[in-house]
Amino acid sequence: MRGDEHPLTISLSTDELAGPAQELPRLLKERGQELILHGAFVDGERSDWAFASEAAARDVAEGRAGQAIVCCWTGTGASIAANKVRGVRAALCLDAQSAAGARRWNDANVLAISLRATSDALLREILQAWFETDRSDDEDDLENIAHLTEMERRA
């Protein structure tokens, strides 16, 4: 949990309960994460990828969750929708190396997962890399993150 004093609250959304979406709540709870659920996880909530991903991203942007995981068939739409929310840096990660890099160099706070391309074993590897990688303290990396924030402010 990257040294957090309390379990990190994760906002979790999916547009359908397929593939890794079936395992994610259990795996996250096993890691000690507290969950806020959206989309197909919640009866009566709109589950379309754009709506569910926005809800999870807003939890991060508004401080209800420290991070989010958003899922759709390819993961692309979920990442695009999440990135439309100010303060969110969503990364579609298809492997553990991408997840580690997204956390280290991009300080990503939303992980996008493909329901189609992510096996159970790969999901575990991605989650491990995501949660166990710290943000870089390299000056160039920090300047890039600050630049993203400035770009967002100007938009």
- Known catalytic residues are 72
Question: At residue 147, what is the residue type?
Answer: H
For 16, residues 6+ apart whose C-beta sits below 8 A from its C-beta are 40, 47, 72, 73, 115
Q: How far apart are CA 155 and CA 152, in angstroms?
A: 5
Distances (CA, A) of 152 to 17, 19, 20, 84, 88: 33, 33, 31, 10, 10
Per-residue DSSP letters for 75-127? SHHHHHHHHTSTT--EEE-SSHHHHHHHHHHH---EEEEETTT--HHHHHHHH
**C-beta of residue 41 within 8 angstroms of C-beta of residue 15:** no
